Structure 1
Amino acid sequence: MTSTDVQKMTWAEVRARRLRRHGLATPFTGSGPADVVAAMAGTHAQVMSAAELAIGLRLGHATRSDVRAALWDEHSLVKTYGPRGTVHLLPTRDLGMWIGALSAAASVPTTFPPHVRLTPDQAEEVVAAIGDALADDMLTIDELGDEVIGRTGPWAGDLVMPAFQGMWPRWRQVMHLAGMRGALCFGPNRGRKVTYTNPRRWLPEFRPADTEPALAWAVRSYLHAYGPSTPRRFANWLSLSVPRASEIFDALGDELRRVEVEGTPALVADGDAEAPPEAHGGVRLLPYFDGYSYRVGVQCPEQLYPGRAAERVLPGAFQNLVVDGVVTGLWHQRRSGRRLDITVEPLVPLTAAQRAELDEQAERVAMILEGTPRVTIGTVAVGAHA
């Protein structure tokens, strides 16, 4: 392509595109939680209440109960280990494609020291044991550990992994791998205890897709949600090597189209180079990890975290105050019964209209979390979420 053939975009247009694609400019209508999660190419769910809020904000009248129903009653969502080996909600309808793609990413070398690591054969043995143990059951972590050790050997139970002021057994280092292979997913809590099961218990027809078609599908899904982007950013998002990601992009050939965002080359799917006007995106209170999802792999952080936000918000996993697609502060909520005390720390002055919209957004947050809000403008004294 010559430079005149390449579509030019501004960062403001990219932000407007992102707000629209993620249901943050206007909530999705006629959609359910699984549609929102598909539009986001997965929803980070390390903190489940944050995932419930992230999905609810993108729907017109949903609450956390709707997300829970999608997970545990309808099974239109599944909670498992997704991109980068982190806990995500994924649409059940796409699970085969996800597992096909994640299985390729799951071969990233371990960072554990040699005396902790499982050998490749041991790792495969543990993953198989996890899948077998959960095939007809729903187990807590301790119950699953007993089953895995019984199926493999005492070496799997060696307490060698430092974790939370204690030590975890060796087998747990590949729990994420079991999820990314489709052998494990989360079940509903048993009281305060997390449970795990095999997704095939709910989805008897589930089969992982072949790797290459699944990776091509992952690129298309990623570019729809996060484009324009590059192979390097896709590699960071899915946890692939950059050369491998480049191979996948190259194989798509004419399916991709080059654009330039204020001089920076990037790619979108052919026919999907929508550049909406610099529309008003409104005031949004994004929950934990949603801020990361909002920015990942799309553009330089300085385009989303200008000024003081680069120092105050960007380094930690804070909840983000977003105004017109730009992070302009942080916030925190504390629950006491039904009351939800929301503290917002703007890093730039808010107009009267933005302050009113902030109150509306707090009402929406409280509705999703099924509480009653009380908003305070002040300093967020708690640290970032670990």
Structure 2
Amino acid sequence: MTLRISWREASARRLRRQFLANPLGTGSRRPAETVAAMLGAHAQVPSAAELSVGVRTEGVTRADVRTALWEDRSLVRTHGPRGTVHLLPAAELPLWSAALTAVPAGPSPFPPGVRLTDEQAAQVVAAIGEALDGAQLTVEELGEEVVARTGPWAGDLVMPAFQDLWPRWRQVLHRAGQSGALCFAPNRGRKVTYTRPPHFGPLAPEEALRRLVLRYLAAYGPATPRHFAKWLAAPGGWAADLFARLAADGEVEDVLFEGAPAWVAAGDTDFPEPAADVRGVHLLPYFDAYAIAAQPRELLFPGAAWQRALAGGQAGNYPVLLVDGVVAGVWHQRRRGRRTTVTVEPLGRLTARRTRELEARAERVGEVLEAAAELVIGEVTTGPHA
């Protein structure tokens, strides 16, 4: 008999496995373990990544995340799922690099006279890795090294970006990050710098993809190939074929999730009834992994949340208030010196108990950001993050 799983059961398991219902213990100081459970922390906005890790790990502040990133090097900041900037565990780079570079690239958004050929792209990625080996370079310095190693064509200012033109080689900056040729280094003043992560041998592509699917299903399942493809920015047909191969090998098994076919990792069918530990209030920052990866999105963003907390259907553009595992509002924090004001806009009435929980969550936001937090319940007037 096919196992039937409800949204409440799936949501409860996801909250536990994401360390939202049960943060890693006091003093654990294990940002890399937390990031591994999330399958990467979105880090285009560094403070958002610090919050994503901090709300899941008791006692951890932004300083601990920065120590893991720049001193311990147990984390790296690089290009991850969807080509966007993420924190990833350094120990998992062999998996991520092999899996991400095995995802078929979509059609280039640039016209033929602008885009790189496959051969040119490979040359640029190799040149980036060579230039950054043992060095920390700004993007301008890196560009000079890439052009010197490839040819003037790489430096042609043909790539439209932010009302400006960037050199041709920057089309594959994200690909260099995904392949392990590049990661971020500490800023030089206000300038971003790049370096190369420690050399590693990537896994075989098919093995890496197998592991990534099973990890995704463990963290966010039940899920469909379409959900996986959306999270990874991969072609839907390719994802369906990948799941079919895993099913044929007995690696995944089908279930009914809210009455529709979905998949879990084979044998991973324990969905305990939701208990008190998974009911509650959470504040998730911009592009938090839970808001991005948990599907189906119409159940995660029910009712008014669909219009208020999404931007054109895209998740992550607003920090969200979770109540019992679903989005029930938006929030924003504005820092002034050693204080930060946390403004929360609920989409429904909060009970006195929920309000007390929210006060504790706002206080935790302040602790992670090393600031004293003041909670304000009212309208959030800032627009979506671009």
Pick the TM interval, shorter chain: over 0.9
Match 1:212 to one of 206, 221, 243: 206
Bigger shift: residues 363-372 or 235-244: 235-244
**TM-score, length-scaled by structure 2:** 0.94
* Paired position in structure 1 for 2:196: 198
Partners in 1 of 2:103 and 2:190 — Cα distance?
32
* Paired position in structure 1 for 2:139: 141
Q: Which runs of 4+ in 1 moved over 3 A?
A: 295-298
Match 1:23 to one of 19, 23, 28: 19
User: 1:228-243 maps to which residues of 2 (within 5 A)?
Assistant: 228-243=222-237
Checking the alignment, whether the CA contact within 8 Å between 1:106 and 1:180 is kept in structure 2 is no
**2:74 equivalent to 1:103:** no
Partners in 1 of 2:61 and 2:279 — Cα distance?
22
User: CA deviation digits over 1:267-309, x for unaligned, max 9?
Assistant: 111221221222343111100001xx21445422221111211
Checking the alignment, whether the CA contact within 8 Å between 1:257 and 1:267 is kept in structure 2 is yes
Bigger shift: residues 327-336 or 278-287: 278-287
Partners in 2 of 1:120 and 1:261 — Cα distance?
41
Q: Which amino acid is 1:385 matched to?
A: H
Partners in 2 of 1:339 and 1:240 — Cα distance?
41
**2:314 equivalent to 1:318:** no
Partners in 1 of 2:371 and 2:234 — Cα distance?
40
* Paired position in structure 2 for 1:150: 148
Partners in 2 of 1:298 and 1:64 — Cα distance?
25
SS in 1 for 2:165: strand
Match 1:221 to one of 198, 204, 215: 215
Checking the alignment, whether the CA contact within 8 Å between 1:331 and 1:344 is kept in structure 2 is yes
Partners in 2 of 1:313 and 1:331 — Cα distance?
9
* Paired position in structure 2 for 1:168: 166
* Paired position in structure 2 for 1:48: 46
C-alpha displacement of 1:73: 0.8
Partners in 2 of 1:238 and 1:345 — Cα distance?
30
* Paired position in structure 2 for 1:36: 34
User: 1:106-145 maps to which residues of 2 (within 5 A)?
Assistant: 107-145=105-143
* Paired position in structure 2 for 1:94: 92
SS in 2 for 1:199: coil
Partners in 2 of 1:243 and 1:236 — Cα distance?
12
**TM-score, length-scaled by structure 1:** 0.94
SS in 1 for 2:125: helix
Show structure 1 runs of 5+ residues with no match: none
Checking the alignment, whether the CA contact within 8 Å between 1:81 and 1:87 is kept in structure 2 is yes
Q: 1:297 to 1:43 in 2, by over 3 A?
A: closer
Matched residue count: 376
**2:359 equivalent to 1:359:** yes
Partners in 1 of 2:338 and 2:120 — Cα distance?
48
* Paired position in structure 1 for 2:182: 184
Checking the alignment, whether the CA contact within 8 Å between 1:64 and 1:370 is kept in structure 2 is yes
User: CA deviation digits over 1:121-155, x for unaligned, max 9?
Assistant: 11111111101100121101111011111111221
Q: Which amino acid is 2:147 matched to?
A: I
* Paired position in structure 1 for 2:262: 266
* Paired position in structure 2 for 1:66: 64
Q: 1:289 to 1:163 in 2, by over 3 A?
A: same
* Paired position in structure 2 for 1:369: 369
Partners in 2 of 1:250 and 1:310 — Cα distance?
32
SS in 2 for 1:288: coil
Checking the alignment, whether the CA contact within 8 Å between 1:229 and 1:297 is kept in structure 2 is no
C-alpha displacement of 1:107: 3.0
Checking the alignment, whether the CA contact within 8 Å between 2:29 and 2:60 is kept in structure 1 is no
Bigger shift: residues 153-162 or 137-146: 153-162
* Paired position in structure 2 for 1:256: 252
Bigger shift: residues 232-241 or 322-331: 232-241
C-alpha displacement of 1:53: 0.4
Partners in 2 of 1:208 and 1:175 — Cα distance?
19
SS in 1 for 2:109: coil
SS in 2 for 1:276: coil
Show structure 2 runs of 5+ residues with no match: none
Partners in 2 of 1:130 and 1:240 — Cα distance?
25
SS in 2 for 1:109: coil
Checking the alignment, whether the CA contact within 8 Å between 2:29 and 2:59 is kept in structure 1 is no
Partners in 1 of 2:29 and 2:370 — Cα distance?
20
Q: Which amino acid is 2:208 matched to?
A: A
User: CA deviation digits over 1:193-230, x for unaligned, max 9?
Assistant: 11111112xxx4x1111111111111111111111111
C-alpha displacement of 1:35: 0.6
**2:246 equivalent to 1:245:** no
* Paired position in structure 2 for 1:7: 3
Checking the alignment, whether the CA contact within 8 Å between 2:61 and 2:369 is kept in structure 1 is yes
What RMSD over aligned residues (CA atoms) do the two structures have, in Å? 1.4
Checking the alignment, whether the CA contact within 8 Å between 2:222 and 2:264 is kept in structure 1 is yes
Checking the alignment, whether the CA contact within 8 Å between 1:228 and 1:298 is kept in structure 2 is no
